[in-house]
Structure formats: C-alpha cells, structure tokens
Amino acid sequence: MPTATWNGAVIAQADSAAIELVEGTTYFPLAAVHQQYLAPSDKHTVCGWKGTASYYDVVVDGKVNADAAWFYPEPKDAAKQIAGYVAFWRGVQVSA
C-alpha cells in the first residue's frame, strides 16, 4: 500500500490500484491524503504537457515543509488521469 510520510506522520496512504504513476512519480487520490497536514501555498509552476501545478506546504507538529506537495487543478487532456491527485517531494518519503 503506497504511503507518504514526513516528520513521523503518515501524510497519505492509498490502495495500489488507486494511485497513478506519471514519470516515476506516485500521485495519491485526494481522498487518500490527510488534509490536516496540508496548507495552501502560493507557488505555481507550469509543465508543458500536464498544465499548471499548484502547491501545498506539508505541516506536521508545527514544522513546515514548503511546497512539498503539488497537484494539477485543471490538467491538460494528456494528463487528465491525475485530476484530483496529489504528489509529494522535498523529503516526503513515498514507499510502496
């Protein structure tokens, strides 16, 4: 069962069938992400084929991992399978 953890907390956990793998990155369905650990960020980036990404800070026990989660609110058609999914980086450990 894929799990995302940071600072000793499970941030997301999903059944293997529920995740999406894109370019080697695990995307968790939003329903599998523990929302209490996410805080909106002002960061946005653009991917040529996925669209504009928005970010969350991951916050656990008062510690902030800035922009450590991202999602595509309106992905382009080529990436429509990741609509409603969140991915992690910057020290968030994702294990299978």
Distance CA(75)–CA(7), nearest Å, equals 30
Kindly indicate the confidence band of residue 94, based on its pLDDT and cuts at 50, 70 and 90. Answer: very high
Q: What is the CATH number of the domain that holds 9?
A: 2.170.150.40
* CB neighbour list of residue 66: distance below 8 Å, 6 or more residues apart: 41, 43, 57, 90
- Domain assignment of residue 50, given as a range: 3-95
Find the mean pLDDT for residues 38-56: 98
Domains: count for the chain: 1
Q: What is the reported pTM? A: 0.94
Residue % of the chain over a pLDDT of 90: 97
Over residues 17-23, mean pLDDT = 92
Averaged pLDDT of the chain: 97
Amino acid at 25: T
Task: Encode pLDDT of 53-93 as tens digits.
Answer: 999 999 999 999 999 999 999 999 999 999 999 999 999 99
